[in-house]
Amino acid sequence: MPAAARRYEEPYQPRHTLVALVQDRPGVLNRAVSLFRRRGMNIAELQVARTGRAGISRMTWVVESGDVDGVVRQLGKLIEVLDVYPADGDVNTHAADAERRLDALLPADAQADGVP
């Protein structure tokens, strides 16, 4: 292998999938991504999509890092983040738990109207 190629090799970092339910407001993605940047984490994949609830989006990150517990705690402290969880295990179980917690956060009349 040429010396130039060896110079840019990076040690293996495991990949972790994180999912967050967030309020659909301007600047939320920027604040969330800044947490990863400040910790020097590489975001390998990023997806943002609307959920079935008005005003709520789901952000999914695949990050290359040995430890993601700290960034999960920091994401949870952002005002617009309603729930965040690592999805390395059974994604369906985590998603169902997140939906139940979200139902508990929203007032009953807002759930019926579809308004957060």
The average pLDDT across 58-63 equals 92
How sure is the predictor about 81, in pLDDT bands with cuts at 50, 70 and 90? Answer: very high
The average pLDDT across 46-54 equals 91
Hey, what CATH topology would domain 11-113 get? Alpha-Beta Plaits (3.30.70)
Task: Answer with the residue of higher pLDDT: 23 or 6.
Answer: 23
Least confident of 15-29, 60-74, 97-111: 97-111
Is residue 46's pLDDT more than 70?
A: yes
What is the reported pTM? 0.67
CB environment 81-90: b (16+ within 10 A), e (fewer): bbbbbbbeee
